Amino acid sequence: MSASTKRPVRARMTASQRREQLLDVSRRLFAEKGFEGTSVEEIAARAQVSKPVVYEHFGGKEGMYAVVVDREIQALTQALIGALERGGHPQVLVERTALALLDYIESSTDGFRILVRDSPVAQATGTFSSLIGDVAMQVEHLLAEQFTKRGLDPRTAPIYAQMLVGMVALTGQYWLDARNPKKDEVAAHLVNLAWNGLAGLQKNPQLRGETA
């Protein structure tokens, strides 16, 4: 074979690059097939490496899954808590929280699919329900403050926080596949129900926005 017809030599990945490649490949497979439906053999085949390479980096499928889940938990936590920490009108806080979750679903669909699946392995690093519980605790303090200002019993804030965050989370799970209506419209309807209640629903709700 002449020099001109030889196959180009692929650049060898560093250990860090290989690790990221394996995480990227496994993330797609976990989202597509779930933890139980994904095998080390398939991960290795997709990444074009041998099984020992996978074991060398993560010790097995469980270790890889734990890293993937932990990264997604951190990304979504930062987005949701970040939406709440900026303060502002309570209605705007509900808007921000809803949009933060929908933004995450839109930009990290595979990650969200992984988080909403139930797997024993996920319980070691956190589950979607535990994450939502953490966010509800943040909302609880904000609601208690508002309840006190409005003459309502602040001791009821925890249950209302669970209601609000749970409603946003379940709507996000529905929108994951439906993707209809558009993100802003979904957020507007969420706020419509959360803020106005069934008795005061608006026919054509609009987001209040940061400057309102």
Residue 60 domain flag: no
Residue 186 domain flag: yes
Residue 24 domain flag: no
Split at pLDDT 50, 70, 90, the class of 157 is very high
Using the CB atoms, write b or e for 122-149: b if 16+ within 10 Å: beebbbbeebbeebbebbbebbbeebee
Residue 177 domain flag: yes
Which structural domain, as residue segments, surrounds residue 186?
A: 69-200
Of 4, 3, 68, nearest to 30 (Cα)? 68
The confidence score (pLDDT) of residue 21 equals 96
The confidence score (pLDDT) of residue 122 equals 43
pLDDT averaged over the chain? 87
Residue 130 domain flag: yes
**At residue 11, does pLDDT exceed 80?**
no
- Report the CATH number at residue 175: 1.10.357.10
